[in-house]
Structure 1
Amino acid sequence: MVDEEGPGSAPSLCELLLRRFRDWDSISVVWDTLAFAYSRSEMVHDALSVLAKMRDLNLKVSTSTYNCLLHNLRHTDNMWNVYNEIEDTGTPESDYTTSILIDGLCQQSGSLEEALEFTKDMERHGVQPDTVTYNILCKGFHLLGLMSGARKVIQQMLVKGLNLDHVTYTIMICGHCHVGNIDEALKLRKEMISRDFQLSVIVYSVLLSGMCKSGLVEEALALLYEMEAVGLEPNLISYSILIDGLCKQGDVQRASEIYREMYRKRIIPNYSAHRAILLRLREKGDIYEARKYFDHLTAKAVTEDIMLYNIMMDGYVKLGNVAEAIQLYKQIIEKGINPSTVTFNTLIHGFCKTGKLVEARRMLDSIELHGLLPSPVSYTTLMNANCEQGNIKGMLELLREMEAKAVEPTHVSYTVGIKGLCKQGKLWDAVHLVEKMYAKGLTPDQITYNTIVKCFCKAQDFEKAFQLHNEMLMHNLEPTPVTYNFLINGLCVYGGLEDADRLLVSLDDGNINLTKFAYSTLIKAHCAKGDVYRAVGLFLLMMEKGFEISIRDYSAVINRLCKRCRITEAKYFFCMMLSDGIFPDQELCEVMLNVFDQGGDFDSAAELLAEMIKFGFHPD
Structure 2
Amino acid sequence: MLKKWILLNFRKKRQLLSPFSSSIFSKPSVSAAKLSSDEPTISFDSVDQTPADPVPEIIANLRNLGFKKFIDGDDSKNLILRLSEFQVDRIIDCLRVESLDLAVTFFDWLKIHCGFKHSLFASFVIAHVLAAKRSFKELRLVLEQILQEQGSGSAPSLCELLLHSFRGFESNREVWDMLAFVYSRTGMVHDAVFVIAKMKELDLKVSIQTYNSLLYNLRHTDIMWDLYDDIKVSETPRNVYTNSIVIDGLCQQSRLQDAILFLQETAGKEFGPSVVSLNAILSRYCKLGFAEVAKGLFCLMLKYGLHPDAFSYNILIHGLCISGSMEEALEFTNDMGRHGVEPDAITYSILAKGFHLLSQISGAWKVIQKLLIKGSDPDIVTYTVLICGYCQIGNVEEGLKLREVMLSQGFKLNVIAYSVLLSSMCKSGRIDEALGLLYEMEAVGLKPDLVTYSILIRGLCKQDKVHKAIQLYNEMCSKRISPNSFAHGAILLGLCEKEMITEARMYFYSLIMSNCIQDVVLYNIMIDGYVKLGNIGEAVQLYRQLIEKRISPSIVTFNSLIYGFCKNGKVADARRLLDTIKLHGLEPSAVTYTTFMNAYCEEGNIQRLLALLQEMETKAIGPTHVTYTVVIKGLCKQWKLQEAVQLLEDMYVIGVTPDQITYNTIIRSFCKCKDLRKAFQLLNQMWLHNLEPTSATYNILIDGLCVNGDLKNADCLLVSLQEHNISLTKVAYTTIIKAHCAKGDVHKAMTFFCQMVEKGFEISIRDYSSVINRLCKRCLITVAKSFFCMMLSNGFPPDQEICEVMLIAFHQGGDLGSVFELAAVMIKSGLLPDKFLIN
Q: Do the structures match in fold with TM over 0.5?
A: yes
For 1:117 and 1:350, locate their aligned partners in 2 and report how far apart those are by CA, in whole Å. Answer: 50
For 1:210 and 1:408, locate their aligned partners in 2 and report how far apart those are by CA, in whole Å. Answer: 35
- In the TM superposition, 1:495-506 aligns within 5 A as 495-506=709-720
- In the TM superposition, 1:347-362 aligns within 5 A as 347-362=561-576
Residue pair 2:349, 2:388 contacting (<8 A) in 1 also: no
Range 402-411 or range 276-285, more displaced: 276-285
Residue pair 2:244, 2:276 contacting (<8 A) in 1 also: no
Q: In structure 2, what is the equivalent of residue 26 of structure 1?
A: none
Range 400-409 or range 385-394, more displaced: 385-394
Q: In structure 2, what is the equivalent of residue 324 of structure 1?
A: 538
User: In the alignment, which of 414, 439, 447 is matched to residue 628 of structure 2?
Assistant: 414
User: In the alignment, which of 110, 115, 127 is matched to residue 328 of structure 2?
Assistant: 115
For residues 14-72 of structure 1, the C-alpha deviation after alignment (integer angstroms, 9 at most, x for no partner) is: xxxxxxxxxxxxxxxxxxxxxxx99998887357438999xxxxxxxxxx99x999988
Q: Does the alignment pair 1:252 with 2:470?
A: yes
For 2:571 and 2:759, locate their aligned partners in 1 and report how far apart those are by CA, in whole Å. Answer: 46
Q: Which amino acid aligns with 1:350?
A: G
For 1:288 and 1:540, locate their aligned partners in 2 and report how far apart those are by CA, in whole Å. Answer: 43
User: In the alignment, which of 638, 644, 662 is matched to residue 448 of structure 1?
Assistant: 662
Change over 3 Å in CA distance of 1:403–1:50 after alignment to 2: closer
Q: In structure 1, what is the equivalent of residue 351 of structure 2?
A: 144
Residue pair 2:259, 2:281 contacting (<8 A) in 1 also: no
Residue pair 1:74, 1:101 contacting (<8 A) in 2 also: no
Range 144-153 or range 184-193, more displaced: 184-193
For residues 162-215 of structure 1, the C-alpha deviation after alignment (integer angstroms, 9 at most, x for no partner) is: 9x9xxx646755764675547866986998899xxxx9xxx5577567557655
How far the C-alpha of 1:446 sits from its partner, in A, is 1.8
For 1:130 and 1:459, locate their aligned partners in 2 and report how far apart those are by CA, in whole Å. Answer: 65
Change over 3 Å in CA distance of 1:564–1:369 after alignment to 2: same
For residues 397-420 of structure 1, the C-alpha deviation after alignment (integer angstroms, 9 at most, x for no partner) is: 333322332222211112122222
For 1:309 and 1:182, locate their aligned partners in 2 and report how far apart those are by CA, in whole Å. Answer: 38
- In the TM superposition, 1:368-379 aligns within 5 A as 368-379=582-593
How far the C-alpha of 1:341 sits from its partner, in A, is 0.5
Q: Does the alignment pair 1:45 with 2:257?
A: yes
Q: Does the alignment pair 1:472 with 2:686?
A: yes
Range 382-391 or range 270-279, more displaced: 270-279
How far the C-alpha of 1:340 sits from its partner, in A, is 1.0
Residue pair 2:757, 2:763 contacting (<8 A) in 1 also: yes
Q: Which amino acid aligns with 2:449?
A: S
How far the C-alpha of 1:442 sits from its partner, in A, is 1.7
Residue pair 1:142, 1:171 contacting (<8 A) in 2 also: no
Q: Which amino acid aligns with 1:144?
A: L
User: In the alignment, which of 555, 558, 576 is matched to residue 341 of structure 1?
Assistant: 555
Change over 3 Å in CA distance of 1:405–1:48 after alignment to 2: closer
Change over 3 Å in CA distance of 1:205–1:508 after alignment to 2: closer
For 1:426 and 1:245, locate their aligned partners in 2 and report how far apart those are by CA, in whole Å. Answer: 48
Change over 3 Å in CA distance of 1:275–1:609 after alignment to 2: closer
Q: Which amino acid aligns with 1:49?
A: L
Q: In structure 1, what is the equivalent of residue 577 of structure 2?
A: 363
Residue pair 1:558, 1:570 contacting (<8 A) in 2 also: yes
TM-score w.r.t. the length of structure 2 is 0.53
Residue pair 1:460, 1:490 contacting (<8 A) in 2 also: yes
For residues 73-95 of structure 1, the C-alpha deviation after alignment (integer angstroms, 9 at most, x for no partner) is: 666466646989999xxxx999x
Residue pair 1:516, 1:547 contacting (<8 A) in 2 also: yes
Partner of 1:373, secondary structure, is coil
Give ranges in structure 1 of 5+ residues lacking alignment: 13-36, 54-63, 120-128
Q: In structure 2, what is the equivalent of residue 439 of structure 1?
A: 653
Q: In structure 1, what is the equivalent of residue 821 of structure 2?
A: 607
For 1:382 and 1:569, locate their aligned partners in 2 and report how far apart those are by CA, in whole Å. Answer: 52
Q: Which amino acid aligns with 2:531?
A: V
Partner of 2:573, secondary structure, is helix
How far the C-alpha of 1:599 sits from its partner, in A, is 5.0
Q: Which amino acid aligns with 1:108?
A: L
Range 595-604 or range 308-317, more displaced: 595-604
Partner of 2:657, secondary structure, is coil
Residue pair 1:212, 1:220 contacting (<8 A) in 2 also: no
Change over 3 Å in CA distance of 1:336–1:186 after alignment to 2: farther
Partner of 2:690, secondary structure, is coil
- In the TM superposition, 1:58-97 aligns within 5 A as 76=285, 80=292
User: In the alignment, which of 630, 633, 643 is matched to residue 429 of structure 1?
Assistant: 643
Q: In structure 2, what is the equivalent of residue 562 of structure 1?
A: 776
How far the C-alpha of 1:345 sits from its partner, in A, is 0.8
For 1:405 and 1:68, locate their aligned partners in 2 and report how far apart those are by CA, in whole Å. Answer: 36
Q: CA RMSD of the aligned region, Å? A: 5.5
Give ranges in structure 2 of 5+ residues lacking alignment: 1-208, 227-242, 251-255, 266-271, 353-360, 392-398, 426-430, 461-465
Residue pair 1:497, 1:525 contacting (<8 A) in 2 also: yes
For residues 418-466 of structure 1, the C-alpha deviation after alignment (integer angstroms, 9 at most, x for no partner) is: 2222222222232232223222222222222222222222222223222
Q: Does the alignment pair 1:525 with 2:739?
A: yes
Change over 3 Å in CA distance of 1:191–1:552 after alignment to 2: closer
Range 510-519 or range 361-370, more displaced: 510-519
How far the C-alpha of 1:523 sits from its partner, in A, is 3.8
Q: In structure 1, what is the equivalent of residue 174 of structure 2?
A: none
For 1:368 and 1:130, locate their aligned partners in 2 and report how far apart those are by CA, in whole Å. Answer: 47
For 1:102 and 1:313, locate their aligned partners in 2 and report how far apart those are by CA, in whole Å. Answer: 38
Partner of 1:108, secondary structure, is helix
Range 208-217 or range 452-461, more displaced: 208-217
User: In the alignment, which of 229, 242, 248 is matched to residue 453 of structure 2?
Assistant: 242
For 2:610 and 2:700, locate their aligned partners in 1 and report how far apart those are by CA, in whole Å. Answer: 26
Q: Does the alignment pair 1:481 with 2:724?
A: no
For residues 82-117 of structure 1, the C-alpha deviation after alignment (integer angstroms, 9 at most, x for no partner) is: 989999xxxx999x99xx999947851244366399
Residue pair 1:134, 1:153 contacting (<8 A) in 2 also: no
Partner of 2:596, secondary structure, is helix
Q: Which amino acid aligns with 2:621?
A: V
Residue pair 1:449, 1:468 contacting (<8 A) in 2 also: yes
Q: Does the alignment pair 1:313 with 2:531?
A: no
Residue pair 2:561, 2:574 contacting (<8 A) in 1 also: yes
Q: Which amino acid aligns with 1:458?
A: K
For 2:294 and 2:750, locate their aligned partners in 1 and report how far apart those are by CA, in whole Å. Answer: 81
Residue pair 1:345, 1:377 contacting (<8 A) in 2 also: yes
Q: Which amino acid aligns with 1:431?
A: V
TM-score w.r.t. the length of structure 1 is 0.69
For 1:295 and 1:527, locate their aligned partners in 2 and report how far apart those are by CA, in whole Å. Answer: 55
Q: Which amino acid aligns with 1:332?
A: L
Q: Which amino acid aligns with 1:255?
A: Y
For 2:611 and 2:547, locate their aligned partners in 1 and report how far apart those are by CA, in whole Å. Answer: 30
For 1:102 and 1:378, locate their aligned partners in 2 and report how far apart those are by CA, in whole Å. Answer: 36
Q: In structure 2, what is the equivalent of residue 592 of structure 1?
A: 806
For 2:741 and 2:277, locate their aligned partners in 1 and report how far apart those are by CA, in whole Å. Answer: 82
For 1:581 and 1:209, locate their aligned partners in 2 and report how far apart those are by CA, in whole Å. Answer: 46
For residues 296-352 of structure 1, the C-alpha deviation after alignment (integer angstroms, 9 at most, x for no partner) is: 554566644122322232233234332232233223334443221011112112212
Q: Which amino acid aligns with 1:403?
A: E
Partner of 1:144, secondary structure, is helix
Change over 3 Å in CA distance of 1:190–1:252 after alignment to 2: farther
For residues 506-533 of structure 1, the C-alpha deviation after alignment (integer angstroms, 9 at most, x for no partner) is: 5555554444444443443344344445
How far the C-alpha of 1:359 sits from its partner, in A, is 0.9
For 1:512 and 1:211, locate their aligned partners in 2 and report how far apart those are by CA, in whole Å. Answer: 29
For 1:175 and 1:74, locate their aligned partners in 2 and report how far apart those are by CA, in whole Å. Answer: 26
Q: Which amino acid aligns with 1:354?
A: N
Residue pair 1:106, 1:136 contacting (<8 A) in 2 also: no
Change over 3 Å in CA distance of 1:193–1:440 after alignment to 2: closer
